[in-house]
Amino acid sequence: MGRTIAEKILAAHTEMEDFKEGDIIKVDIDLALANDITAPIAIQAFRSKGFDKVQDPSRVVFVLDHFTPNKDIESAQQCKLVREFAREYGIEGLFEGGEAGIEHALLPEIGLVVPGDLVIGADSHTCTYGALGAFSTGVGSTDFAAALVTAQAWLRVPESMKFIFKGELQEWVGGKDLILYLIGDIGVDGALYKVLEIEGPAISSLDMSNRLTMTNMAIEAGAKTGIIAPDDVSEFYVTQRSSRSYKLFRSDPDAHYVSIREYDCSNIEPQVAFPHLPENTRGISEVGDILLDQVFIGSCTNGRIEDLRLAAHIMKGQKVSKGLRCIIIPATPGVYMEAMREGLLEIFIEAGAVIGPPTCGPCLGGHMGILADGEKALSTTNRNFVGRMGHPGSEVYLANPAVAAASAITGRISSPEEVVS
């Protein structure tokens, strides 16, 4: 029997032969990632075991993005700890301040991940890089600490599920809607420790921004990772950003899948996930009248330049609804600069939105947009759990940037068709 793309990448990174689904294998990693929340825990574990050497500093990346710019003394101390550790062990892959940005938007943008890579990260949304044809997955901080010492990791070989998207996309529908639709179909535990292998004509038509959005949210279905086989679109994206060599893997025709599902995109309208799970999805036509207190456009899911262009198209010449807070955060300094060059920031500010520096911030209820009791927010982020963006009594709805921008104008969850004639 043939192998899936995920199994082929694992095989290329292990000396263990003839492994099968469910086996525990030791793999060499190409990159290990942590942030200002998870890295300090790993560093403490590293020091507590008496280790004094990082096996391969060139394979380690720290991105200080969650509580930065530092929101308080504790977050400042965490960043200082990571900064000093990187300096002590010669880790040049430290990104903070004007070099930082949201980790899962930053790494693909600057070419640190290429097709065929095996990446682990002490953050659940490390699965984002599967859009490039890499095997990337989140791990715990202690697993990351072990990777510092060995440049290796132990993984259980996951089963794979295939999802085929056919048909033409409706207007205002993008990768965010397709992945929300998928999660709404199988549930937040529908792919537990499995690979979401995503393909089909509709996927081939998507740009990299939309593909990265889809694999970013694979974890919201419980998946070990999401992966899209590389093609001309992804290869062009990578070659513009990286000089590293890479390898393109594709699944064999006779590879094993625990399930195969097909979706007709012509039947998928813009999706909205209702509180308090990403699986609680409804089409925009079924949402009803839901008034909002805040709209947030940003995050590792939808903070790229393509997302901001879409939002600006909706908001140009419009005004944010009175009494509603609209917060827009470009995901990286590069996105921020491009949005500035294109005049997008001016459109947002003239509409009455607030622009923040690249940071995770509101997505995890960290800072720069915390919700109060009883408030409702529409967000382009990936999670809407109880208390995710602030008070446990608040509510978070998830949608794409076009729906978010339109809703900021109307003051309620709205289709872009209500705003753009």
Low pLDDT (below 70) residues in the chain:
none
Do 210 and 227 belong to one domain? yes
**Assigned token pair, 145:** 């600490």
Q: In this predicted structure, what is the pLDDT of residue 267?
A: 94
* CATH at 131: 3.30.499.10
Do 58 and 157 belong to one domain? yes
Pairing, β 281-283 against β 271-273 = antiparallel
| β-strand partners of 260 | 162
The residue range of the domain holding 306 is 272-418
Q: How many domains does the chain have?
A: 2
Do 154 and 106 belong to one domain? yes
Burial bucket for residue 316 (CB in 10 Å: 0-12, 13-18, 19+): middle
Q: Are the CB atoms for 50 and 137 separated by under 8 Å?
A: no
Burial 149-177 (b: 16+ CB within 10 A, else e): ebbbbebebbbbbbbebeeebeebbbbbb
Neighbours of 421 (CB within 10 A): 4
How far apart CA 414 and CA 404 sit, in angstroms, is: 8
Q: How many CA within 13 A on the CB side of residue 72?
A: 5
Do 258 and 276 belong to one domain? no
How far apart CA 87 and CA 351 sit, in angstroms, is: 43
Q: For the CA atoms of 127, 129, 130, 136, what is the dihedral angle to 10 degrees?
A: -50
Q: In this predicted structure, what is the pLDDT of residue 379?
A: 98
Among residues 125, 280, 260, which one has the least CA distance to residue 187? 280
In tens, the pLDDT along 36-83 reads 999 999 999 999 999 999 999 999 999 999 999 999 999 999 999 999
Among residues 25, 28, 26, which one has the least CA distance to residue 13? 28
Among 201, 228, 263, the domain boundary falls at: 263
Do 258 and 280 belong to one domain? no
Q: In this predicted structure, what is the pLDDT of residue 17?
A: 85
Among 263, 297, 322, the domain boundary falls at: 263
Among 263, 297, 329, the domain boundary falls at: 263
Do 243 and 117 belong to one domain? yes
Do 290 and 257 belong to one domain? no
Tally DSSP H helices, then E strands, for the chain.
14, 18
Q: In this predicted structure, what is the pLDDT of residue 1?
A: 79
In whole angstroms, how far apart are CA 357 and each of 126, 295, 327? 22, 16, 11
Do 243 and 338 belong to one domain? no
Among residues 42, 52, 13, which one has the least CA distance to residue 122? 42
pTM above 0.85, yes or no: yes
Do 186 and 287 belong to one domain? no
Do 191 and 288 belong to one domain? no
Q: In this predicted structure, what is the pLDDT of residue 238?
A: 96
Do 389 and 276 belong to one domain? yes
Burial bucket for residue 62 (CB in 10 Å: 0-12, 13-18, 19+): buried
Do 190 and 310 belong to one domain? no
